[in-house]
Amino acid sequence: MKRLFGIIILLAVCVAAVGYFGFCSGEDPVYDNFEVAATTSPFSVNVLDEDDGEVNTKLFGLIDINTTKAQKSEEREVLLGGFPLGLDLNLKGLMITGKAGVVTADGAVSPCENTDIRSGDVLVAIDGRSVGDDKTIAEILNKKQGQPVELCILRGEERIKYTVFPAKDVLSGNYRIGLTLQDSIAGIGTATFINPESNKFACLGHAILAQDGSVIRIDGGKIYNAYISGFIKGKIGKAGELNGTFSSKSQSIGNIKTNCKFGNYGTFTGKSDKLEKIKIGGRLSVRPGKAQIYSTVIGSEPAYYDIEIIKVNEQSSPSDKSMVIRITDEKLISQTGGIVQGMSGSPIIQNGKLVGAVTHVFTSDPTKGYGIYADWMYPLTE
């Protein structure tokens, strides 16, 4: 009889697990066609003692499954961001922004016209020699005097080689390959936090991407104080954006080391004595319900805005799209329409703790967007 009862309980657990994970599996929703579905999990997770990180998992809230130890969140304290940053990133190679004609003695010529070189590709070498500026390119091409050269192009993780014939520009006398290039990219983002023990900062919460969706490889960079002068209000079908300014000729406040899936990271060298201290709330403590974001939509001083966390994803390993949030603050909605570009990295605070950062906006509803757990960002600042 006891054996039969054990089998029944085991089957119940298996059926519940299959039903739950089957319902929650599938592709991530696309940003412009997202609907939040109400789900009910047969499993409940109770944080019994957050100081010790003890977590108890139950089936239907009644039957104990196991008790595990989670990472201590109370010991991690950071300096709260929310202020705007000017980001100036150096590229590994030269980013291609387009193809161009070369005016020669025989008319206009486009050396790369018949190649599939694309905007967003990165030119890393010519004839095996690394290139990072126009001077180096001119030196290589002029030495070849119109003879074919081999271009090494980086597209995502793929390296592609093309052979092209440089054309002589009749105006300058230099040989050119007919590509428009840039050696850096710049923009506005939001600081998430600074780790006071290492002086390392975290911002954005997501990678800066090339046009093909790959993570752009950088060769360092700098951050600067920025000022938000205005914004374009978001609307259905089109994300809004913050309009900000910064000067790369001013004193930098930090060095960027990494551009990865979870944001930009580096060393902070600016003044931090007036920044608010806050404890990190571990991902297991995050719950659907009221929260706030700390962000700057005008000027350089951040403010708190009310939001609601409407969906929390269980993640046992680093991943983005940790939670879905909705802006509920009427003032912010009337100003920006909700989440706009430039808010990426804005801290998400729940129960007085930093639990994540804003990363994306849903173009179908600018009041909604994704956030990433602070748990996935903090280790990159240790």
Two tokens, residue 286:
């995050």
How far is the C-alpha of 283 from the C-alpha of 347, rounded, in Å? 14
Q: Are 148 and 165 in contact (CB under 8 A)?
A: yes
How far is the C-alpha of 350 from the C-alpha of 305, rounded, in Å? 12
How far is the C-alpha of 134 from the C-alpha of 177, rounded, in Å? 11
What is the 3-state composition of the chain as percent helix, strand, coil, each rounded to the nearest 5? 15, 45, 40
Among the listed residues 73, 322, 344, 346, the single catalytic one is 344
How far is the C-alpha of 305 from the C-alpha of 343, rounded, in Å? 12
How far is the C-alpha of 256 from the C-alpha of 190, rounded, in Å? 14
How far is the C-alpha of 228 from the C-alpha of 180, rounded, in Å? 30
Q: Is 273 a catalytic residue?
A: no
Distances, alpha carbon 360 to alpha carbons 26, 235, 241, 353, in Å: 20, 14, 12, 21
How far is the C-alpha of 290 from the C-alpha of 272, rounded, in Å? 28
Instruction: Determine the residue type at 11.
Output: L
Q: Is 206 a catalytic residue?
A: yes
Q: Are 123 and 93 in contact (CB under 8 A)?
A: yes
Which residues make beta-bridge pairs with 232? 241
Q: DSSP per residue over 30-70, as a string? A: PGGG--PPP---SEEEEEEETTTTEEEEEETTTEEEEEEEP
How far is the C-alpha of 276 from the C-alpha of 304, rounded, in Å? 13
Q: Are 132 and 102 in contact (CB under 8 A)?
A: no
Q: Is the dihedral of CA 244, 248, 254, 257 positive or negative?
A: positive
Distances, alpha carbon 69 to alpha carbons 46, 81, 372, in Å: 12, 29, 22
Catalytic residue numbers? Answer: 206, 329, 344
